[in-house]
A and B are shown apart, each in its own frame.
Chain A
Amino acid sequence: MSTTAPAKVDTGDLILALDAGGTMTDAILVKPDGTFTVGKSISRKEDQQRSYRDSVADAAQSIGLTSEEVHKRLAADVYCGTGMLNTILTGDGRKVGLLVTRGFEDLTVMEGGLSYLGQSQAESLHQQLHKHTRPLVEPKNVLGVSERIGGGCYLGEIHLPAGHVLIPLNEDQVISGTKKLLEEGCEVIGILFLYSFVDPRHEHQAKGIAEKIIKDKGLEIPVVCSADVAPVAKENSRLKSLLFQCFAAEQVRASLLDVEKAARELGFDGRLLTLLSYGGAVNMDYTRLYETMISGPVGGLIGAQFLGNVLDLDNIVTADMGGTSFDVGLIIDKRIGIAKSADIAGHRLALPMVELDSAGQGAGSVVWVDEYKRLHVGPESAGAAVGICLNYDRLTVTDINVALGYVDPNYFLGGQVKLDKELALKALKETVADPLGLDVYEAGAGLLQIINTEMNDLLRTMIASKGYDTHDFTMLYYGGAGPVHMYGFAEGIEFKDVITIPWAAGFSAFGAACAEYMHRYDRGTRALIPNQSGDDHLAKIAKDIHTTWREMEHEARIQMKAEGIDPATVTFRYGVSARYMGQIESFNTALENGVMDGPNDIQTMIDAFETMYSKVYPEGAKFGSAGYSLTDIHLEAIADKPQPKLLRHELSNPEPDPSAFVEKRDVYHKDGWVSFNVWEMGELKAGNTVKGPSIIRDPMTTVVIPPNKKMYIDEYLILHYS
């Protein structure tokens, strides 16, 4: 499919977005009035076309349309998945060959020694558990090339400047190396040289040579430079980014284009989009496709950002509890927080990635007691088998919710699936209550409290570890199980507000539908700003930033045009990474605009940095007297893409209609039996306030409101918990 195929952005009145998760593929179909419907199908990794078709069909029929009718009316079609991660995990990617700076041939084996990534403190402490990840390239296919470029030193221009050529590129070694890699049958060649993020000239020179050899041999083998995939400091992380792109991205591109094919066969004539790990949607021709690795969870964060804009919330912490994991994310100043280091499947990438913490605990997580009578939750999960109450052989969190009465066994997925409460109770008694010598309901309540506390702590840590204060945050819960536990997760943490949404289960897919069409551009730099800097020095730096931004804007317009977007409609966001001189960590600093004409604009930039820094660290940690340095200049280019609208509803009176009342149900809540009112989500109206003890049921989820708490439904049908 040609990159110039026009994106379908003008006509069409439906938006479709899917999240192909580990167990389910959720589809969200947004109707012209901004309302939407959810569809589901079992995820089929081996046949994503099918799970796509099934899920969309499910969503379509619920509003009386066929899949074809839907596709013909689509304005945008967003598809998130976990395909790339699977390729990395299963190791069935492309055969990669690497050319690296001579003397660094062992880079891929050494991995910088990072052998504990993704481990808990207890695990990394037990060093016998440290291990290297499966290499994404055979060591013998990593060849050295003599060349060296200097990166400058932290004390500034007291020695050779950044970009100084110490050893010119040895072209003969590039030629012989390329030939050897081709002989070895490599399907893609990556190039990583030291400090290419400062000056890519050697990488590009080598790429030219390699491509010529490949062409002369009549082959079609891509050559990828680290400076083009991830032009940022730290060779170990840059290498991983390069490897992900070479090893996995290209073939995942194929399967995504496959899904796009399905969409087109069903009548869609636009481009299928997917999500970047730092937000934003791109089509399947995006160069750095490896950046779309965690598109699923990103969807949720984008949805949260969308809500934030609608409800005017600056800071949001999100908690997504699905079947197998509990993901916590942050929105700061209406922006999706970007993590310092992107660790995935034992690899540390040089990639901006949303702030996302994850615990291997979801509704399907197994609950057990060890011989020290310590309670454990997860990491094993029943996934789609739900628990003993359905067809799994071990006790899960959902079993407990069913056993205690929170979840209606006869209304799971709207009653399509019947759960067995008795089995759940029996298992709870045998696995937990008896070993601990507790009453079965006490045990269940205790377990829920532990789970809630752990999640509660993960939330605190996530926020505290970034140095933020919970009082400045709105807490947003989603995922099938989020609303069931929100009362517990939120306990004891003072948030500005605690909210959830009726369509919590499909929120990640909804978020994908909200994604803006955005490309991010980063460029490493080494600009120093000593305090006594003269205006001419500042002007020089300003000019450099100015030029870089203008180049990025240009590049963005060209790329987006190629993706079928009218360059005139592209808008931009500007930022830099800065630090006190001497620091090695840089801090992402967002700027109001892209104006960088002279010394004053540099001062504005420094002020923005100080403001951001003070938010994270105590007064004692500031160090303005050391001067500042810039390490990265970046830009986000945004194109128009239709967005779902949240409908404003007329507020009716606080009392829910009697029609919304379903029944009274006894629930063992905390330390005793409580009679809860059960309400039907679909029947509740904007303006209603549901007082606890209550449960709001919905085919996709269950919202629990304990005694003395209440849930207010606002004009957008957002549920506010207090």
Chain B
Amino acid sequence: MSDDISISKGIIEQLVDGKIDDDNLERLLKLPKKDSGRFFKYIEVLQDKVSWKDKILLRLSDKLYIVSKGPGIRITKCECGYEFGDYRSNWKLNSKIRVRKTAEEMKAVYDPTPAVPEAGWQEIREYFCPSCATQHAVEVVPPGYPIVMEMLPDLDKFYNEYLGKPLSDASSDWYQDKTSDTTSSWK
């Protein structure tokens, strides 16, 4: 009991595939402390699922990953292979967007009617992968609201200090939001 608990790759796969049963789920939730070996097994499971070979550094969302394209290049990549560019710039800027502005348009995604956001005060933004059309994100915000960078990971700190396995191209300037570089290049 005194050693670190280890969770099998099979269980992690079940979690990823949404096939885990309630007993195993409860077991995981009741661990006195999380199994420290989880991350790399998780990455293995994910790497097995994608068709491409780039090394997954982190899973951002269901089908979005930060991958390494070789030393000094870390990009956001869709499970389908589409590449959104440097992960430090919000990937949403390189996606396609559909905006629901009118009550009519919003009714298609909320039900019953009184639950629909108020047109003019709110709009619903849907962000798609330009290649596989996966809906990667949804924002329900007022018109004019800056697109939200949901997560900017500090990869090097994570790999160095939390996992104890520094990345080969570790450097201090990775952890910064470069989104505005993109927008400033637009106008």
Contact = CB atoms under 8 A, between A and B. Distances in A.
A369 B1 contact: yes
Interface of A: 123, 126, 128-129, 131, 368-374, 376, 431, 435
B45 to A, nearest CB: 21
Given A431-B1, A435-B2, A370 B32 contact: yes
Given A370-B2, A371-B1, A371-B32, 10 more contacts: A126-B29, A128-B29, A131-B22, A370-B33, A371-B2, A371-B3, A371-B4, A374-B32, A376-B1, A435-B2
A311 to B, nearest CB: 44
A373 B3 CA distance: 10
A129 B1 contact: no
Interface string B20-63: 00100010011011000000000000000000000000000000
Which 10 A-B pairs give the minimum distances between C-beta atoms? Answer: A368-B1, A435-B2, A370-B32, A128-B29, A369-B2, A129-B29, A371-B2, A369-B1, A370-B1, A371-B4
Interface of B: 1-4, 22, 26, 29-30, 32-33
19 contacts: A123-B30, A129-B29, A131-B22, A368-B1, A369-B1, A369-B2, A370-B1, A370-B2, A370-B32, A371-B1, A371-B2, A371-B3, A371-B32, A371-B33, A372-B32, A373-B2, A376-B1, A431-B1, A435-B2
A370 B31 CA distance: 10
B98 to A, nearest CB: 33
Contacts of A373: 2
Contacts of A431: 1
A528 B29 CA distance: 48
Chain B interface helix/strand/loop/mixed? loop
Contacts of B22: 131
A345 to B, nearest CB: 15
A387 to B, nearest CB: 16
A128 B30 CA distance: 10
Q: Please indicate which of the listed interface residues B2, B4, B22, B33 has the most CB atoms of chain A within 10 Å of its own CB.
A: B2
Contacts of A131: 22
B26 A129 contact: yes
A253 B62 CA distance: 52
Contacts of A370: 1-2, 32-33
A123 B31 CA distance: 11
Nearest to B5: A371
Contacts of A435: 2
A369 B32 CA distance: 11
Contacts of A371: 1-4, 32-33
Contacts of A368: 1
A128 B34 CA distance: 15
A393 to B, nearest CB: 13
Contacts of A374: 32
B4 A129 contact: no
